[in-house]
A and B are shown apart, each in its own frame.
Chain A
């Protein structure tokens, strides 16, 4: 099992550009989520999905869109990048929504917006 994979590992954008961060998992997990991690702050939830076709907002959803067409994939779209979106982005998955379930994290995407 590859676990949770993310692409790209690094990305530099100019303000106003759009891009999609890819996330895939091969563990057949229903629950997937996107976090951002900024220096000196805890991970913050952007969006999450409890299954194919179902998504919901987390704590900091503004400026980001998601969709979940398959169980395996959960892409994160930045429609018009802003310098405030410079961060490290982590995708995670878990076997169900129950709070006991461990989240498995991907290796992260480091995004810089100029």
Chain B
């Protein structure tokens, strides 16, 4: 089954304790992205990756790191979590979104989310 798998689904941690949220997709997608979802703020992009070893900041990258060493995996790393990073996180993937003048409008496939609480 084609899917984006995030782990864990729920995570409670304390301020400053490094954590990693894993994301894996089995669709051979080039593009992967992390979002956070907060009430009243909708979805905000944290980081994205156009392909292996190619990552870039989204709208709210502060306090987060990512890596893309393999095509299928795109972990989100919080080196020193803080309470304002309490949120619902989603990983998403798609075929390449296009470059230059060409836009590939393949839809995003989302994981089921990770609810993170930082106390």
A and B: interacting chains? no
